[in-house]
Structure 1
Amino acid sequence: MAEARQQSRTVNWDEEIELLARALPPDLARALHERIHPSELLEIVLDLGREPEARVPGREVLLADHPVSASDLEHVANNVGQFGDDNRAGIERTLHRVSAIRNRSGRIVGLTMRVGRAVTGTGEISRDIVISGQSILLLGRPGIGKTTMLRECARLLADELRKRVVIVDTSNEIGGDGDIPHPGIGRARRMQVKTPLLQHAVMIEAVENHMPEVIVIDEIGTELEAAAARTIAERGVQLIATAHGQTLENLLVNPTLNDLLGGIQSVTLSDEEARRRGTQKS
């Protein structure tokens, strides 16, 4: 254990990961440097009254043997960006996401500090589809890397193909926090969204006002957003988006999002056709 701590001290921490560490109270920041290799860090979890922990692939590492206090949470909240209506904040010009858990009176009682990384080259696996001009929907469970892939697709289209790319960035997770986007999105432009409830309106605004060839959007989750996505695609603009789900079947049975696949229509079969198919008439 002592050897692992010594190795961690000698590792050169990436500047963006270091900015995340600096948002922590000093004792937790020291423990993070001593116990965690920066390339393995996935997220830091701080819950009021529980020991703070850092999560790395396959395990959790305690950062202290004393519980998190209200002052610890306040320290972090004061050292990151402003929390939005979706209880998410960031650190300026980084891709990290800080999400808050609040009690019934609105006070923060928990924080999840998720590490964001721009990984160049992740879009190569889908390069042929991306450059074809077809709209793309990326499905997967949370934390699997959809946003990382989305960011790389935006950079690929904007930098290498010189297309007009506009990112609708509701939680500042694609382009990072602050008014100047993270260099990970290349020359793509980024539109921020005041509140998640307005995401669908900003999607349409992007098409009408900024003449994009490509619209990039993360986490389509409401019926209005699905309808806006379909409208964008019908206007001849390439759409690259993500949604939560494992398979297309998951999306088809989701009444809110199945419009992304064209929707489901009910039909009535004749008695003979229903018997032939072995199904009900409608």
Structure 2
Amino acid sequence: MSTDEDLDRLIEILPKSIQHIIETHQYKQSLVEIVMDLGRRPEARFLTHPEYLSAKLISWQDLDYSTKRLSKFTDDNRAGIERTLHRISCIRNRQGLVIGLTCRVGRAMYGTINGIRDLLESGKSFLILGCPGVGKTTMVREIARVLANEMEKRVVIIDTSNEIAGDSDVPHFGIGRARRMQVSRTDLQHKVMIEAVENHMPEVIIIDEIGTELESSAAKTIAERGVQLIGTAHGNSLGSLVKNPVLSDLVGGVQHVIISDEEARRRGTQKSILERKGPPVFYSALELNDRFCWIVHEHVDRSVDMLLQGLEPRFQIRRFDPESRLSISLQKVDSSSTSSKGKAMKSNKNWRKNSRTPF
């Protein structure tokens, strides 16, 4: 099935009044998602801008028309379309009735990971960070295909929401020869992660959206068994992950340490400091906050140590020009902001409670 045919399958579940508008829209190929909320105008969100599709307000009948053409919503209020990568999420009222739909377009994008091929070939685990909608799932789907088809690795995908390999028992062709394990309930994701290692002899495990302490612990177990782990997590930066008490163990964790007076004088700090608790689960980290500009921390342990000390971590910026040519430059965090914030972070035991990111 081609990408155009995939998109047509999504358009088919929309109310008739919207279908023709999307089919003939000049920005159809850059469509990201369609939002339909009861009593509001339907809205399309493209890569460059959002716009209303119609002056007609969404009715109960419109929502009912769409939901009847979907698979059953799971416990996380997500559903899919058979043999496609699209994801439909619902909003419910207090009575459990669907009053809103977010129809996100899923695409298999080929040749999009050449900028991080060296990380794949290293055989080491790495983490992909980024805000929702920036392209993390699209990236891990292509990573799975490249590892399985081109590098001939044994790849197993833990597909909790069926978003990587599609909403069907037959995986979408976008993942190549990689295998996919489905998860019956979101709270069982960590168990399926361990099951994959114990039962299916993977060389690589791919997991989208590590979000709980149990999943973080399972990721650590997988890494300790010598399996390459590629995962994603929500977070703008490595610094935001360090602040997250649930997920900080993915990058080594954080602990308070009391040092001697002499050592405190030598460092120019207070006696109570923050240090990394242990080795990180992931060797490298990729900050995916822009589709054409990525930040790569080649050594997560070094970057975390420097952040906790209030120093400037070194990282790579990998940019793509309009012709998809890659350029790599070595950068530091702005010293005017990082150093002062890092020192405050070291002296504040309640630094995680601060809503502002310190980096």
The TM-score range, normalised by the shorter chain, is over 0.9
Among 139, 164, 187, the alignment partner of 2:154 is 164
8 Å Cα contact 1:41/1:54 also seen in 2 = yes
Give me the whole-angstrom Cα distance separating, in 2, the residues matched to 1:38 and 1:193: 32
The one-letter code matched in structure 1 to 2:59 is S
Give me the whole-angstrom Cα distance separating, in 1, the residues matched to 2:5 and 2:27: 14
8 Å Cα contact 2:39/2:59 also seen in 1 = yes
8 Å Cα contact 2:86/2:105 also seen in 1 = yes
Structure 2, unmatched stretches of 5+, are: 273-359
- Paired residues for 1:28-43 under 5 Å: 28-43=18-33
8 Å Cα contact 1:141/1:244 also seen in 2 = yes
What corresponds to 2:190 in structure 1? Answer: 200
What corresponds to 2:166 in structure 1? Answer: 176
Give me the whole-angstrom Cα distance separating, in 2, the residues matched to 1:27 and 1:67: 11
What corresponds to 1:252 in structure 2? Answer: 242
Among 146, 155, 160, the alignment partner of 2:145 is 155
Give me the whole-angstrom Cα distance separating, in 1, the residues matched to 2:95 and 2:134: 33
Give me the whole-angstrom Cα distance separating, in 2, the residues matched to 1:175 and 1:148: 10
Residues 118 and 179 from structure 1, CA distance in 2 versus in 1: closer, same or farther, beyond 3 angstroms?
Answer: same
Give me the whole-angstrom Cα distance separating, in 1, the residues matched to 2:270 and 2:188: 41
Q: CA deviation at 1:104?
A: 1.2
Among 212, 222, 244, the alignment partner of 1:222 is 212
RMSD: 1.4
The DSSP-based 3-state class of the residue aligned with 1:39 is: helix
Among 70, 78, 92, the alignment partner of 2:68 is 78
Listed one character per residue, the Cα deviations across residues 137-192 of structure 1 (whole Å, up to 9, x for unaligned) are 00111111111110111101111111110000000111011111100000000000
Q: CA deviation at 1:35?
A: 3.1
What corresponds to 1:140 in structure 2? Answer: 130
Q: What count of residue pairs does the alignment treat as equivalent?
A: 271
Q: CA deviation at 1:62?
A: 2.0
What corresponds to 1:261 in structure 2? Answer: 251
Structure 1, unmatched stretches of 5+, are: 1-11
The DSSP-based 3-state class of the residue aligned with 2:157 is: strand
8 Å Cα contact 2:159/2:183 also seen in 1 = yes
Q: CA deviation at 1:272?
A: 1.7
Among 256, 260, 270, the alignment partner of 1:280 is 270
Give me the whole-angstrom Cα distance separating, in 1, the residues matched to 2:93 and 2:270: 49
- Structure 2 length-normalised TM: 0.73
Among 36, 48, 56, the alignment partner of 1:58 is 48
Among 3, 6, 29, the alignment partner of 1:16 is 6
8 Å Cα contact 1:154/1:188 also seen in 2 = yes
The DSSP-based 3-state class of the residue aligned with 1:175 is: coil
What corresponds to 1:4 in structure 2? Answer: none
8 Å Cα contact 2:131/2:236 also seen in 1 = yes
Give me the whole-angstrom Cα distance separating, in 2, the residues matched to 1:107 and 1:101: 8
The answer to whether the aligner puts 1:123 opposite 2:113 as a matched pair is yes
Q: CA deviation at 1:36?
A: 4.6
What corresponds to 1:7 in structure 2? Answer: none
8 Å Cα contact 1:17/1:38 also seen in 2 = no
Q: CA deviation at 1:56?
A: 1.2
What corresponds to 1:114 in structure 2? Answer: 104
The DSSP-based 3-state class of the residue aligned with 1:206 is: helix
8 Å Cα contact 2:3/2:107 also seen in 1 = no
Give me the whole-angstrom Cα distance separating, in 2, the residues matched to 1:123 and 1:13: 18
What corresponds to 1:270 in structure 2? Answer: 260
Listed one character per residue, the Cα deviations across residues 4-25 of structure 1 (whole Å, up to 9, x for unaligned) are xxxxxxxx98100000000011
Give me the whole-angstrom Cα distance separating, in 2, the residues matched to 1:270 and 1:148: 49
Q: CA deviation at 1:93?
A: 1.1
The DSSP-based 3-state class of the residue aligned with 1:43 is: strand
Among 198, 202, 207, the alignment partner of 1:212 is 202
8 Å Cα contact 1:136/1:241 also seen in 2 = yes
More strand by share: 2
Give me the whole-angstrom Cα distance separating, in 2, the residues matched to 1:98 and 1:28: 16
Give me the whole-angstrom Cα distance separating, in 2, the residues matched to 1:189 and 1:20: 25
Residues 147 and 13 from structure 1, CA distance in 2 versus in 1: closer, same or farther, beyond 3 angstroms?
Answer: closer
Give me the whole-angstrom Cα distance separating, in 2, the residues matched to 1:245 and 1:61: 27
Percent of residue pairs bearing the same amino acid type: 61
What corresponds to 1:95 in structure 2? Answer: 85
Give me the whole-angstrom Cα distance separating, in 2, the residues matched to 1:190 and 1:152: 14
- Structure 1 length-normalised TM: 0.93
8 Å Cα contact 1:14/1:38 also seen in 2 = no
